[in-house]
């Protein structure tokens, strides 16, 4: 009974923390988006600015050591939003500092974020080709 409880309860707790923290990051993003829109940015630009600001802030928190501590508690809530992408870029970059600027920081930056860009790009190119063929027949 005790072991069964041990197995199920961390999952529930993890899920709750992931939900709350992930929601909070998105809520913060929405507030920023409204702020940028208020300052006169277009909808699309406002979302890009939100991404850039969150990337900046999450990188700073990573450097200061807050982000990894919080991510241990919040799990997916902090690695699925764009802030997690920023953390995945910044964290290895800081770790690799002592290995030099080119073979250290330069290559480690994309250690975790690389696959995301690679497969995202491949998927988008495949979609582009399909869409092009579709336009040829439809248009």
Identify which of 82, 90, 137 has the alpha carbon closest to the alpha carbon of residue 112.
90
Q: Which of 35, 41, 70, 94 binds another protein (CB under 8 A)?
A: 94
**Nearest distance from residue 2's CB to another protein, in Å?**
19
Q: Which of 9, 42, 66, 95 binds another protein (CB under 8 A)?
A: 95
Applying the rule CB under 8 A, the residues between 21 and 60 that interact with another protein are 21-27, 29-34, 47-48, 50-52, 54-56, 59-60
Interatomic CA distance for residues 33 and 81, integer angstroms:
15
**Nearest distance from residue 67's CB to another protein, in Å?**
11
Residue 81 binds another protein, judged by CB under 8 A: yes
Query: For residue 22, what are the CA distances in angstroms to 13, 59, 101?
Result: 14, 17, 33
**Nearest distance from residue 125's CB to another protein, in Å?**
5
Query: For residue 6, what are the CA distances in angstroms to 1, 11, 16, 72, 92?
Result: 9, 9, 16, 18, 33
């Amino acid at each position: 009974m005790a072991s069964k409880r041990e197995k199920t309860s961390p999952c529930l707790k993890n899920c709750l923390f992931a939900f709350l923290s992930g929601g909070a990051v998105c809520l913060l993003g929405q507030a920023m988006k409204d702020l940028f829109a208020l300052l006169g940015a277009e909808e699309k630009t406002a979302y890009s600015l939100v991404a850039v600001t969150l990337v900046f802030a999450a990188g700073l928190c990573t450097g200061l050591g807050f982000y990894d501590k919080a991510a241990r508690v919040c799990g997916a809530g902090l690695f699925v939003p764009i802030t997690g992408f920023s953390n995945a870029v910044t964290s290895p970059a800081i770790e690799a500092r002592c290995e030099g600027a080119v073979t250290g920081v330069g290559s480690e930056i994309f250690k975790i974020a690389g696959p995301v860009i690679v497969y995202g790009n491949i998927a988008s190119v495949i979609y582009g080709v399909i869409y092009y063929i579709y336009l040829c027949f439809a248009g």
